[in-house]
Amino acid sequence: MTEMIYTYDGSFEGFLCCIFDSYANKEVLTAIFRDEDFAPSLFASRWIPTDRDHANRVLRKIVKVSPYTVELLQKGFLTCLPEKEIHLYRLVVKLLREGPGFLRNFSDETLYPVITAVRHLNGEAHLLKGFVRFSDLGGVLGGEIEPKNRVLPLLRSHFCARYQNERFFLYDRTHKEALFYAAGKAVIRPLEDFQMAPPDQAEANYRILWKRFYDTIAIKERYNPRCRMTNMPKRYWGTMTEFQDERYFTVPDSPAAAPAPAVPDGRSAPGKLPGPGPSGPGSAL
Amino acid sequence: MDVLEKLTILTDAAKYDAACTSSGGDRTAKKGYIGNTSSSVAGCCHTFSADGRCVTLLKVLLTNNCVYDCKYCINRRSNDTRRAAFTPEELADLTIQFYRRNYIEGLFLSSGVFRSPDYTTELMIRALRLLREQYRFNGYIHAKAIPGTSPELVEQLGFLADRLSVNIELPSEAGLKTLAPDKTKQAILAPMGQIRVRNQQSREELVKYRHAPKFAPAGQSTQLIVGATQDTDFHILRLTQGLYDRYRLKRVFYSAYVPVVEHALLPSKDVKPPLLREHRLYQADWLLRFYGFRAEELLDEAHQDFDPRVDPKCSWALAHLDFFPVEVNTADYETLLRVPGVGVTSARRILTARRAGRLRIESLPKLGVVMKRAQYFLTASGKVADGLRFTPDSLLRGLIAAEQPSLPQPPMEQLSLFDPA
Ligand code: SF4
């Protein structure tokens, strides 16, 4: 067994191929990098091409031993755990070597970092189910988030059920991707740049109403900013209506300054769904 | 009066109600309707207000006009305050538009008693019916059943709402007589009993006919005001337990009394709301609902109030030191739950983890055990935490220190931020 660094294209399938090739080549991986994150080093490295068939064979093998691990891999891959690939790889190696027994022990040293990261992901997705804010942009609902983890695949089914008869999109600023939904179909697509259109009068009014409700519902004799902060960390406030400055609640003067809401460059305008493309790990969830 | 102004008045008048959860709903998404109340949104907070409370529902009154004169309430007839009322359309529109923007999970509709309980309930029914039928709202609705409302109207309300609540507010009949002279214990308990029975019947019908209409599928709750009367914690907790046992309530909420009025029978206006006491009651309530404790185990005739210094579970542990230490490798679930610092989740994790091998002290924090509290009360394979030594005195101090950071702030710090002076 030789030690080796692998690089891959950053997709979930590509990652599974790293596992496949490590077994095929009898190599022990010390690191797995997305090619864009990889700085050439003194250590031996190998570029792993993505091969759907290889990826599926890895998945089938893992499912047989432990379906739960497949879920851990899919979710773990969405987390912001630093060097998540190598943690997930070690989980698979241990699983195939020892069987699934160790998965019952939360405190197991291979499992613990992954499960903690997945809990963080689940927790963030749960919070965002509440903290996401949409605006009505000419009949289409649009929202933005700035999460640490890639939560869109986890939010998809929730918001699709909630807004079954609406058209909506949700943009993830951190990972530069968006969830689009219309007429029963949802996709998650990369989206480099996005600028939310300013509100029209009706939208501005509802924002004002909400802000007023928010400010009024607090009981001043119970004022407790620390408790609020613990429950709703400040990093979420940036995309929440009730914490925006005045501009957010006013309609821009000249109507020309407020173009119809759309995703820039005519790319995947809300409502027009891009066709199917390569699947992200999310499509498996 | 425009909607913004109405919203301000009717939110301000509703904010002392503590209930704001959307739990227990089971409306799945329905074609042509907006929203659902599936379990995936249970415990979903849409924001937290500046007082640190979870906001899930649009919590407003239909109107703050009231013919009653409950002494503790800002909406009482004799209080000189601005009055407003939503039209059913305004309320439905606000709910739908807030819901679409993901501001809220649904509506919590309460009301002052406008003309009579029946008249008020009819208005509420009209508003909710419009929201459900015309606006096709399939999200969560919590409606207040007003004491004194006739059973037929409570019945209709129950088929529109996910949850109903009748607020007891004052924990004793004596309190009711002096502070809420228009209400009687009987008038409060009657709808509670009715809701309980109808909810049960509706569940049985659902087993037989899948599409039978659901009566308040998320059950009922109530609220008790803490600190407006002389009632002790023991009294309040026993009442709570009776409500869980007899009326199958889903939740009892506690609301630290905020003095909004000078009255000879009430704490004076500069008395701070008893937040710590409220906190202790919530902790004890949790122990009743999820940890298998009974009220009489936590308090008794000789100890009528909770120790402000430590939480009720630690209190119990300190009074039952012979029960400890608990060995994590062999103790059953119920026993583990009695250990301070071990919760429902960590107790379950301990059960699963120890099937994979013997547990050591070091692995416990990773299972979610809060060692700062638990270390005094458990062993793993007969061993205690490294270097742990304590006397009864240092034990108490250790427990006090462990909880300190998570307590509600001392009331002193709170007001200064608001006082312009
Ligand atoms: S009936 Fe309700 S709204 Fe009216 S005074 Fe009493 S508590 Fe207040």
Q: Where are the domains of chain B?
A: 3-298, 312-403
How far, in Å, is the centroid of ligand 1 from the Cα of B169?
10
Lowest-confidence segment of A164-168, A250-254, A268-272, B59-63 by average pLDDT: A268-272
Burial of A225 (0-12, 13-18, 19+ CB in 10 A): middle
Helices first, then strands: H and E counts in chain B: 15, 10
How many independent structural domains does chain A possess? 3
From chain B residues 91-110, the ones with a CB under 8 A of any chain A CB are 94, 97-98, 100-103, 105
Mean pLDDT (chain A) is 88
In a domain, A56, yes or no: yes
Write out the DSSP string of B125-187.
Answer: HHHHHIIIIIS-B-SEEEEEPPTT--HHHHHHHHHH-SEEE---BSSSHHHHHHH-TT--HHH
Q: What's this model's pTM, rounded to 2 decimal places?
A: 0.87
CA angle, residues A37, A39, A42, in degrees to nearest 5: 140
- Average pLDDT score over residue span A257-279: 43
Per-residue model confidence (pLDDT) at position B409 = 52
Say yes or no for a CB contact (<8 Å) between A232 and B59: no
What tokens appear for B117 in the block? 């309980």
Q: Give yes or no: residues A79 and A11 share one domain.
A: yes
3-state secondary structure of B63: strand
* ipTM value for the complex: 0.86
Report which protein residue has its CA nearest ligand 1's atom 3.
B112
Per the CB < 8 A criterion, the answer to whether A235 and B80 are in contact is: no
Is A276 contained in some domain? yes
Determine the distance separating the centroid of ligand 1 and the alpha carbon of B411, expressed in angstroms.
Answer: 27
**Are the Cβ atoms of A224 and B272 closer than 8 angstroms?**
no
Average pLDDT in the B123-129 region? 96
- Residues of chain B with C-beta less than 8 angstroms from the C-beta of A158: 40-41
Taking every pair of Cα atoms in chain B, the longest distance, rounded to a whole number of angstroms, is 71
Domain identity same for A93 and A186: no
In this structure, of A241-245, B395-399, B409-413, the range with the lowest mean pLDDT score is: B409-413
Give how far A148 is from chain B: nearest CA, Å. Answer: 19
Please indicate, yes or no, whether residues A186 and A213 belong to a single structural domain of this protein.
Answer: no
pLDDT of residue A267: 42
| B16 close to A (CB below 8 A) | yes
Cα of B80 to ligand 1 centre, how many Å? Answer: 14
Pairing mode, if any, of strands A177-182 and A185-190? Answer: antiparallel
CB contact under 8 A, B41 and A158: yes
Q: What is the dihedral of CA A6, A12, A17, A19, to 10 degrees?
A: 70
* Look-up of token digits 């305008």: A269
Residue with tokens 């803490």: B226
How far apart are alpha carbons B79 and B69 in whole angstroms? Answer: 8
Say if residue A278's pLDDT is above 60: no
Considering the domain boundaries, does residue A44 fall inside one?
Answer: yes
Q: Tell me: pLDDT of B139 over 60.
A: yes
Task: Check if the beta carbon of residue A274 is closer than 8 Å to that of residue A189.
Answer: yes
3-state secondary structure of A117: helix
Q: Do A186 and A220 belong to one domain?
A: no
DSSP state of B13: T
Asked if A17 is an interface residue toward chain B (Cβ–Cβ < 8 A), one would say no
Q: How far is CA A244 from the centre of its chain?
A: 24
Cβ < 6 Å from ligand 1: which residues?
B 66, 68, 70, 73, 75-76, 112-113, 180
Q: What is the pLDDT of residues B243-281, one digit of tens each?
A: 999 999 999 999 999 888 888 888 888 888 899 999 999
B4 min Cα distance to partner chain A (Å): 6
**Residue located nearest, by CA, to atom 6 of ligand 1:** B70
Tell me whether residue A66 is in a domain: yes
Distance between first and last Cα of chain A: 34
**Model confidence pLDDT, tens digit, residues A156-186:** 999 999 999 999 999 999 999 999 999 889 9
Q: Which domain holds residue A16?
A: 2-122
Q: How far apart are CA B315 and CA B308, in angstroms?
A: 10
Final residue before a domain boundary, out of A122, A147, A178: A122
The answer to whether B68 and B120 are in contact (CB under 8 A) is no
* Residue A15 sits in the same domain as residue A109: yes
* pLDDT at residue B259 in the model: 87
CB atoms within 10 A of CB B286: 16
Q: Output DSSP code: residue A178.
A: E
How far apart CA B400 and CA A244 sit, in angstroms, is 39
Tens of pLDDT, residues B272-293: 889 999 999 999 999 999 999 9
C-alpha to C-alpha distance for B298 and A238, rounded to whole angstroms: 44
CATH T-level assignment (fold) for domain B3-298:
TIM Barrel (3.20.20)
Instruction: Say whether B29 and A112 touch across the interface (CB within 8 A).
Output: no
% residues pLDDT > 70 (chain A): 89
Q: In whole angstroms, what is the distance from residue B197 CA to residue B207 CA?
A: 16
* Chain A residues touching B40 at Cβ < 8 A: 129, 157-158
Q: Of A159-173, B105-119, B382-396, which gets the smallest average pLDDT?
A: B382-396
Residue pair B163/B221 in contact by the 8 Å Cβ criterion: yes
Domain identity same for A37 and A82: yes
Residues A104 and A18 in one domain: yes
Residue B419 contacts residue B397 (beta carbons within 8 Å): no
Contact B343, B368 (CB under 8 A): yes
Q: Does A127 fall in a domain?
A: no
A61 domain residue, yes or no: yes
How far is the C-alpha of B111 from the C-alpha of B170, rounded, in Å? Answer: 18
What is the mean predicted confidence (pLDDT) over A178-199? 93
A:94-113 residues touching chain B, CB 8 A cutoff: 101-102, 104-108, 112
A47 and A89 part of one domain: yes
Residue A110 lies in a domain: yes
Domain end among A71, A98, A122: A122
Same structural domain for residues A113 and A168? no
- The answer to whether residue A115 is domain-embedded is yes
CB atoms within 10 A of CB B301: 8
**Partners of A137 in beta bridges:** A140
Placement of tokens 């792993």 in the chain: A48
What is the arithmetic mean of pLDDT over B397-414? 68
Residues A263 and A246 in one domain: yes
- pLDDT given for residue B405 in this prediction: 73
Cα(B182) to ligand 1 centroid in Å equals 9
Smallest Cα distance from A65 to chain B, Å: 17
Give me the half-sphere count of Cα atoms (radius 13 Å) on the Cβ side of residue B43: 7
* B405 cis-preceded (ω within 30 degrees of 0): no
- State the smallest CA–CA distance between residue B377 and chain A in angstroms: 21
Q: Fill in the DSSP letter of residue B365.
A: G
Chain A residues with CB inside 8 Å of B59's CB? 217
